[in-house]
Structure formats: C-alpha cells, structure tokens
Amino acid sequence: MKKKNKKIINNKIRDLLLNQKGMALLTTLIFVFILVTFAVALLTMTSNDTKLSALQRDSTKAFYIAEAGIERTLYNLKKDFETTQDWDNDIDGAIINGYTLSDKDSYEFRKIGYDGKNDYDVTFTDDTYGGYTVSLKIIDSKNVTIKSKGKYNKSTRYIQIDAKMGELSIWDNAIFAGSGQSGKVINGNVDIRGSVHILGTEGAVAVEALDITGTAGIGNNYDGMDSNIRSRIINPPTTDFNGETGIETLNAKLRVKHGIVNLSGTATVGDPDVS
C-alpha cells in the first residue's frame, strides 16, 4: 500500500514538471512587464530632457533680459554724464537721465524706476513676457556699480558690472589708432609716455593688435626721459599711491578694444611698484 501511494505521488510530481500549460502566458507577461518598464523609463527621461531644455531656454532668455537692463542703464548713465559730468549730484536729486531712483537699500543700491516702476516688462515676438529690475550703487562721481535682475517664467538671472565713466579723446592719447604700424610692431628704443588706444580688428579675439618688442615701452610719467626733452615739458600732476606721496602721473592707460598685446624682449608697460 505504501509503495502504491509513493508511486502515485511520484507520478503527480512528474506530471507537474512535465505540464507546460500556462508557460507561454507567463513568458508573455514577463516580456510585457519588461517592455512597459522600459517605456516608462524612456518617457521619464524624455520628459526630464524636455523640462531641462525648457529651463535652459528660459534661463538664457532671463540672461538676455538682464543684459538688456544693463545696456539700457549704461546708455542712460552716459547721457546723464554728458550733461552733469558727475553722478554724485544726481544721487542728491535721485534722478539719472530723467529716471527716478528709489531710496537706498541695506547695500546702498537704488532701483531705477523705468516707466515709473521698479520692474520693466519685456515682450517677445511670440507674445511671451519677461522683465528686468536694475539697481545702481554710486561709488563716486565717475564710478558706479550696476546690478540687473532678469526674469522669464520661473527663471531668474543676475548680472553685476562696475562701470567707470570718462572722456575719451584722440588728443588725450599718445597713440590713437585702428591698429599698430606695418606689422603692428613697436620696436627698438621707442619710448611712449601717455595713453595708447588701439581699436584693433573687430571680431578679433586672439589676434595681436599690438606687438611691443626690444627696449620699447609705455610709461605713466617722465622719469628717465632725456633731460633736454624733459626740460621743455611742464610737470604732470602728482598723486599719492601705496604710501608714497607726490608721484608724478599722466593717468596713462593702455586700451585695446579688439585683440591682444604682446610683450617681448625687455619691453615694458608702466613701472613696477617698488615701495
């Protein structure tokens, strides 16, 4: 009897192992589950990429909006400076080129009330909107810090620059030119005292606008100049610098709008601080 029961059990186990009913359905369900999981992951990645692209696009627009606020403010400061030659006086009246400034905040910045508001709306060609808020901090009569906040949808970008205003005339420069001489080289014992302003080639970034070689140099005063020539020139203004007093200065600057300046040999621009 026991052997018979054991045989029946063994037969049932064998039948279960050999029975293939439902395996195709199970395999299909597993395959469908894998496909659905993959599809969900792909849709999630695509959705995230779309959101990131939209955020990047909005962030770029917000940056350009903030930049527009900077450019508009630079224009207004320039026009204001042409009239007053002094930004400090305008702070007393809280007006820059006709635009009213708000009271100082805790960081001494004042918002510009473009169109009578703190925020200026910007409309794009696709009828979407953004806006910028610009604040000023007057450092002194010719120096100002400008901070612009650009907003577009949920993106916000900030730009802050330091601006210095001054007159730029060809008569205030030892050299004022589109580019250097043939070959763009100042060579030998050429001794320049005063500002040099080179425009260079527009669009050129890593292209040499000026090559100063040999013993040539650009100086900010008349030290070391030939005595016969020096005796015919009036004394320049003096200033205090780094603890030293009565230092002669021509307020010389080397300006290059496009391109780079190369120094080689013993050529110099200015003198080192030896205090």
Q: What is the mean pLDDT of residues 37-46?
A: 77
Residues 177 and 265 in one domain: yes
What pLDDT was estimated at residue 146?
Answer: 92
What is the percent of the chain where pLDDT is above 70? 77
Q: Give domain status of residue 274, yes or no.
A: no
Could you give the CA distance from residue 163 to residue 148 in angstroms, rounded to a whole number?
Answer: 13
What three-state secondary structure class fits 201? coil
Residues 205 and 121 in one domain: no
Q: What is the mean pLDDT of residues 43-57?
A: 77
Which of 140, 164, 188 lies at the terminal end of a domain, its last residue? 164
Residues 198 and 262 in one domain: yes
Q: What is the mean pLDDT of residues 17-41?
A: 70
What pLDDT was estimated at residue 2?
Answer: 47
Phi, psi at residue 20, to the nearest 5°?
-100, 5
Q: Give domain status of residue 26, yes or no.
A: no
| Domain interval for residue 61 | 55-164
Q: Give domain status of residue 41, yes or no.
A: no
Residues 180 and 128 in one domain: no
Phi, psi at residue 34, to the nearest 5°?
-65, -45
Domain count, the chain: 2
Give the side-chain half-sphere CA count within 13 A for 242: 4
Which of 164, 191, 216 lies at the terminal end of a domain, its last residue? 164
Residues 108 and 153 in one domain: yes
Phi, psi at residue 81, to the nearest 5°?
-65, -35
The Cβ of residue 97 has, within 10 Å, a number of other Cβ atoms equal to: 17
pLDDT tens sequence across 131-153? 899 998 888 777 889 999 999 98
**Pairing outcome for strands 217-219 and 268-269:** parallel
0.95 surpassed by pTM? no
Phi, psi at residue 116, to the nearest 5°?
80, 5
pLDDT tens sequence across 236-252? 888 887 778 888 888 88
Residues 214 and 254 in one domain: yes
Residues 195 and 261 in one domain: yes
Q: Give domain status of residue 199, yes or no.
A: yes
pLDDT tens sequence across 93-127? 577 888 888 888 888 888 888 876 666 777 766 66
- The answer to whether the beta carbons of residues 131 and 114 sit under 8 Å apart is no
Residues 182 and 248 in one domain: yes
User: Residue 57: which H helix or E strand, with range?
Assistant: helix 23-84
Residue owning tokens 């195709």:
24
